[in-house]
Structure formats: structure tokens, C-alpha cells
């Protein structure tokens, strides 16, 4: 669906009127909607793969985004009736016969803004929570991935009436038009800079928000782990989607005397995974989304090298097809731009520490990241890191896995995000917990 202000306002008004009907829907009705969405995804799975290849040169052999969405739907279908059941609470007030319960009701009409880095997953996965909780939604896929946006529009049109879920495709102008509407809730995934704009617009309407942002996700490694194993996990995480992943390891902190061994393993892993014939296998490595982001990464790299950093491996940039080669950097000064901004690309600085307190101090100076990764078999070391840092989530002795487990809440904190989703946490995020206190009626005698 292409946008126009009049059309956007028309659909928003329809959804506002229809929200009372959706709110009153039972679990079976919502499950039926989710099943329709699942079948539409399955019908369009080949088009999803093709769209991701077109937009991001996503390797066809990589795990498709729709698999995680299907798993999210299946989990909601299994548990939705339990999630919707009011929670009985023992009243604390000493009133004979009183009862209390918490009823989860939908927030209302939601705006859902999708990002470009995982354009299918990060639209449809939150949409599952929106629908399961009984909301309506207007969805804006990201204009930087147009092929994926078109597939999303088709899937949603096949699954929902516009009175419940509608898609509008467009760029900044559309986003600004949506920000003028008094949505009940806004769900945004993207950069912290745009997140601030979204939150400011929502504040004008006192809309609640879920902001899934990012930050500089650090890795901390001590001497008690297998450095080769750690290096393989870090490189796989850093190079997923050519590093365009909010959960990707942003930089590594390792004890100074272990740096050279770790760097050797990092570079060996890069060569094994992406240079099997001695040159970059572009069928196994994605591209940067556009020229502006490629220039940004090129600027980070040039700035770091000019300030005294060295290339351990990589460093090549092929602007013609938006390729930034996997790159490991050492001796990066803390003042370099690459250590000040979220990298969001396949560049990996390796920093060193003599005392873990040094690394923690620098990490905390950059705000609270979406994720933190600790490689250590020393429980006291891990506990110390967790006690003295803050992040949206943590994976210990691997990367990203805390965000994959459907039983765990996913989201950031402060600069890396507001709110949680996945599984029941998404249902609760898109619901209002409404307390109900009941007192027995006693008729007055005349």
C-alpha cells in the first residue's frame, strides 16, 4: 500500500473505531489470526529469501528470518489462552468477601516501525505480540529495503483486514505523518538517534512506547577460556548480516598478554569462514545496505588508522557492490570515532586491559548497551562484571543466545531501548495490566 496522508488518516480512524471489537476478541479468534499470518508467511517464503538477497545480499544458506517468526507464532498459539486468563490476587485490604484480579487488556491502536537490517523478522515478530494482545496496528516497513517491504505488505494484506492491521510503505515523510497521529502505543526498532525522535513525538500524545535500539555491545574475555572457541563465536556474531546487527559484538576487551593469540584466532576464523579460496566469498557474506552507510564505515576505519590503529586483517572496501571486508583492528585509541559510535558493520576493534576495572570503566562510559558478552569460566570474574555493568541482556561464553531463547525478555535499557518482548514478555508489553478490585454488594435495609 502506498501512502497518502488522507489514506493514512482514513485507516487510522477505521482502526480506532474497530479497536473495541478487537479488544473483545477471545483467544480462539486471535489464534486464528496468527495462524493466517503463519500460512501467509509460508506461502511467501521463497519471495522472502529472494527479497533479503536483493536488499542485503543475504546468503541463501543462512537461517531465514521467517523461521524465528514462525516459532514466535507457534509459541503464542500454544500459550495464548493462559496468557489471557486474568491473574487472581489475594486482596490485602481487610474487607470480608473482597477479591482482586489483574486483567490484561490491549493497549489499542499501535504504530509499528520496522528497521532495514532484519526487515522481515523485526516487523513480523513484534506484530505477533501486537495481534496476540488484541491490538490493531499500522505497520511501516523500512524504505531502505524495498523488496522486503513489498513482501511484508503482501503478507499482511493476505492475513488481515485493514481495520485490524494495515501497511503503509514510504520514507521519512510517511514517518512524520504517522508521528502526528495519536497512537495508543508505538513500537520502534532502529537507531538511538531516530528513537529519540519517535519518543518525542509519542510524548506529544502521551503514547506508551517500546524502543528497540542498540549500542556498543562489548565482549570481555579472561584467561580461563579457549581463545579459539571464543574467536569463532565472536566472528560469527560480528559478521552476521555483514555486521549490521544491533546485538553483534561491537568490540572486544581481552587481557593484554592474551591479545596476540586471540587476534590470531580471530583472523584465522575470518579466513576459514569467508575466504575459503583465498578471496572473499560474497555468496556467504552480505553487503552494506547503502552507500551512505558504507561511507560511514569507511570513515570509521580511516579515522582509526590515522589515529594509530593497525589492521590485523581485512580493511578492504569495494564500494561498487557495497562490500566492507571483515576487519580486525588493534591498537585503537579510545578517542577514535569507532570507539565512540555503534559500528554496525564488520569492523572489530580489539582492546586490552591489565585490570578488568579499566575495561569496565570504559564500557560504562559509553552508556548501557543492548547486550554484553562475557567469556570466562571463573564465576567470581563473571559476577564482578555483571555487578559493575548494566546492559539489556547478557550471554555468557557465547554471543546473542540470550535474545534467541523465547523464555527470556529481549530489549535494552535507557540508551539501548525501552521495553521487552518475545513470548509472554511481548504479550505483556503490548498489554495494559488493569487491576480490578471487587467488594461484595450488600443491600441497605430500609
Q: Where exactly are the structural domains of the chain?
A: 5-213+412-438, 218-403
Q: Examine the residue annotation and report whether 110 is marked as an active-site residue of this protein.
A: no
As a whole number, mean pLDDT of residues 141-168 equals: 97
With pLDDT > 90 as the criterion, what percentage of the chain qualifies? Answer: 95
Render 117-164 in DSSP notation, one character per residue. Answer: SSTTHHHHHHHHHHHHTT-EEEEE--TTSHHHHHHHHHHHHHH--TTT
Q: Examine the residue annotation and report whether 246 is marked as an active-site residue of this protein.
A: yes
What is the domain class of 218-403 according to CATH?
A: alpha beta
**How would residue 61 be classed by pLDDT, with cut points 50, 70 and 90?**
confident
pTM for the complete prediction?
0.95
- CA distances in angstroms from 64 to 59, 119, 180, 337, listed in the order given: 9, 11, 35, 33
pLDDT per residue over 22-57, tens digit each?
999 999 999 999 999 999 999 999 999 999 999 999
- Eight-class DSSP state of 364: H
Identical fold between 5-213+412-438 and 218-403:
no
The catalytic position among 72, 162, 169, 212 is 212
**How would residue 446 be classed by pLDDT, with cut points 50, 70 and 90?**
low
Q: Is pLDDT at 231 greater than 80 in this prediction?
A: yes
The catalytic position among 110, 217, 239, 246 is 246
- Eight-class DSSP state of 443: P
pLDDT per residue over 188-197, tens digit each?
999 999 999 9
Helix axes 172-179, 192-205, angle to 10 degrees: 30
- The helix/strand/coil state of 445 is coil
With pLDDT > 70 as the criterion, what percentage of the chain qualifies? Answer: 98
- What is the structure's pLDDT at 438? 97
The region, left, alpha or beta by phi > 0 then psi within -120 to 50, assigned to residue 331 is left
Q: Is the CATH code 3.40.605.10 the one for domain 5-213+412-438?
A: yes
Amino acid at each position: 500500500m502506498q501512502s497518502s496522508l488522507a489514506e493514512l488518516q482514513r485507516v487510522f480512524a477505521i482502526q480506532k473505531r474497530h479497536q473495541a471489537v478487537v479488544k473483545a476478541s477471545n483467544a480462539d479468534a486471535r489464534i486464528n489470526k496468527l495462524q493466517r499470518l503463519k500460512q501467509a508467511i509460508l506461502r511467501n517464503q521463497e519471495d522472502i529469501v529472494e527479497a533479503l538477497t536483493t536488499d542485503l545480499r543475504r546468503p541463501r544458506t543462512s537461517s531465514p528470518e521467517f523461521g524465528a517468526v514462525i516459532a514466535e507464532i507457534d509459541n503464542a498459539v500454544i500459550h495464548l489462552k493462559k496468557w489471557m486468563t486474568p491473574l487472581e490476587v489475594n486482596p490485602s485490604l481487610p474487607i470480608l468477601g473482597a477479591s482482586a484480579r489483574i486483567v490484561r487488556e490491549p493497549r489499542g491502536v499501535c504504530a509499528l516501525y520496522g528497521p532495514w537490517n532484519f526487515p522481515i523478522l523485526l516487523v513480523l515478530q513484534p506484530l505477533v505480540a501486537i495481534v496476540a494482545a488484541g491490538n490493531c496496528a499500522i505497520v511501516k516497513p523500512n524504505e531502505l529495503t524495498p523488496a522486503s517491504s513489498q513482501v511484508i505488505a503482501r503478507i499482511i494484506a493476505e492475513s488481515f483486514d485493514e481495520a485490524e492491521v494495515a501497511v503503509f510503505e514510504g520514507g521519512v515523510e510517511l514517518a512524520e505523518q504517522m508521528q502526528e497521529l495519536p497512537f495508543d502505543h508505538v513500537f520502534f526498532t532502529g537507531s538511538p538517534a531516530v528513537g529519540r525522535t519517535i519518543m518525542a513525538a509519542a510524548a506529544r500524545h502521551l503514547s506508551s512506547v517500546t524502543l528497540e535500539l542498540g549500542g556498543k555491545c562489548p565482549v570481555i574475555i579472561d584467561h580461563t577460556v579457549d581463545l579459539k572457541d571464543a574467536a569463532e563465536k565472536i566472528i560469527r556474531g560480528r559478521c552476521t548480516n555483514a555486521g549490521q546487527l544491533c546485538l553483534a559484538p561491537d568490540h572486544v576487551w581481552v587481557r593484554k598478554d592474551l591479545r596476540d593469540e586471540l587476534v590470531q584466532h580471530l583472523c584465522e576464523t575470518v579466513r576459514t569462514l569467508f575466504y575459503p579460496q583465498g578471496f572473499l566469498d560474497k555468496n556467504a557474506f552480505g553487503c552494506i545496505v547503502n552507500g551512505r552507510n558504507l561511507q560511514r564505515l569507511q570513515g570509521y576505519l580511516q579515522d582509526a588508522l590515522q589515529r594509530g590503529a593497525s589492521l590485523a586483517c581485512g580493511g578492504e572496501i569495494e564500494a561498487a557492490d557495497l562490500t566492507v571486508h571483515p576487519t580486525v583492528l588493534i591498537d585503537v585509541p579510545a578517542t577514535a570515532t569507532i570507539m565512540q559510535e555503534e559500528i554496525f558493520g564488520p569492523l572489530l576493534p580489539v582492546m586490552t586491559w591489565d585490570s578488568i576495572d579499566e575495561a569496565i570503566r570504559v564500557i560504562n562510559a559509553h552508556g548501557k548497551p543492548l547486550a554484553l558478552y562475557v567469556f570466562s569460566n571463573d564465576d567470581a570474574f563473571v559476577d564482578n562484571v555483571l555487578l559493575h555493568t548494566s546492559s539489556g541482556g547478557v550471554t555468557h561464553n557465547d554471543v546473542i543466545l540470550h535474545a534467541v531463547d523465547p523464555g527470556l525478555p529481549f530489549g535494552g535499557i535507557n540508551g539501548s531501548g525501552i521495553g521487552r518482548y518475545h513470548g509472554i514478555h511481548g504479550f505483556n508489553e503490548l498489554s495494559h495490566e488493569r487491576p480490578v478490585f471487587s467488594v461484595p454488594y450488600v443491600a441497605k435495609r430500609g
